[in-house]
Chains A and B, each alone.
Chain A
Amino acid sequence: MRSRVDSLVALAAPLLLVVVVAVVGSQLNPVRQLEFGSALVSVAIVVAIYIFVGNSGVLSFGHISFVAVGAYLSGILTLEAEQKNLILPTMFGVLRHSQTSTPVSLLLAAAAGALFALLAGGPLMRLSGLPAGIATFAVLGITTNIISYWDKIGPGVTALALVPTNGIWVFMVGALIAIAIAFAYQISPFGRKLRATREDPLAAQASGIHVHRQRLYAFVLSGALAGFAGGLLIHQLGSITPDQASVELTFTTLAMLVVGGASSLFGAVLGALLISGLNSFLADAEQGVNIGFQLTLPTGTRLVTIGAVMALVLILRPSGLTGGREVRLPRRRA
């Protein structure tokens, strides 16, 4: 009984937080709305990464690959066919001629993310610790490199532009879906098994848990959600370049996960929102912002500050602001 209440609260807290952010955002001016929308997309991306990293304890620098694939696929699919013939003449015919609605493109982005994660994860899930970190980073490097140069799958180094954008409610729904799926996974037998391998891989293995397989399941689910979140990203930004879904995004999303607390869903959501807020504020400040007085920060301050915040949290509170715990009702002492 108690645990059912606990688990309801653990799910409701992040959902509520996201709804509040969306409602507040919808009341603001269009520029602010964009920033709140972007924060909600970040929630979806970070929750996607959390499914794998948070539950397995294995680091991945590679998830933004799935985000990139999802973003490009979903963006390209929602462009008008004639337009594509004009601006992307070298692209594969199937991509040029097809056009789908945004929801369908998001589903296909999720499928592409899952497929990519399955292909990459098959061999990579045998690794953990340092080798896993380096190998997943290599996956990101390959993805960025190929998207930048292969003109059969997209516009190359130039921006994929003119993608139709959506309003803040779409991103709210997207973030809610990501959270619900992550929650369902983490209380499922699969999620429990994977968390057991995080605590003690040898003991988990000894009690019959197939570590490699459990990690792969999570990686694929996480890849699917990352592809989906990538789809949200492109429909939030309206245009994207290969660099926008590469090392920098990897860095900021990992910062979000680390700051919030990598081993809890609430931590992932909270971290994504906090760092997004900081990110937006600093980006504004780089352009000049009035906060009682005129503040203009030099370009680069934003990422330096986020890096510093992340490093500080790593050093002072390695398990993140939430301490890696979900939200619970206060307990009466027996």
Chain B
Amino acid sequence: MPEPVLELREVEIRYGRLPAVRNLSLTLERGEIVGLIGPNGAGKSTTLHAVMGLVPLHSGTMALRGAPLRGRPEDRARSGIGLVPEGRHIFASLTVEENLRLGLSARRSADGTAADREWVTSLFPVIGEFAHRVAGTLSGGQQQQLAIARALIARPEVLLLDEPSLGLAPIVVETLFQTLATIREGGVSILLVEQRGALTVGFADRTHVLANAELRLTLGPGDAGDTQHLTEQLTAAYLS
């Protein structure tokens, strides 16, 4: 059995003395989409930030293809982790093209840049269309696409997505999730933090439910069939 692309083992993260995440273990295989859902403050975003190196681990280990994950955020970006942060954080005063070009900072070599650029542009045609617009003038959905494109152009092995559907219309969300499926087919593994529980459970290969800094429950796409049962399960987990 091949090594998982990303593996978190017994991870604990603290803010001061308060644990934000406790005893969290999870794995992400190549091309997998793993969901992470839970109420606000459950520790979902914190987990992504820890993988990116934005917050330190208190204990536990994280590994990328078996090698321990260390260093500053820029080092992790360069070793194959891409983050699409909550709220997108595109550079509003730079052009779309410049935002995209910044994504290239994480590449170790220029080989294959043209092909990846083409791939990204085919996933998000809007990027090519508005290349020379100032990014701040794009709509919310377009900005979200730009943020994903910017992370993808470095060809990360792992894509960390923090609530990509936030503030988007349902129809836009549907398109977005379809695109995520295409991205996974390109060999990228996705760790997807979401508020939309049912949608994520039905979409991801596995979905972990976090509440109160701990993992409560792991669900598969099959669990999404019985909506009422799923809601009951999630409610119980959220409140536990």
Q: A and B: direct contact (Cβ < 8 Å)?
A: no
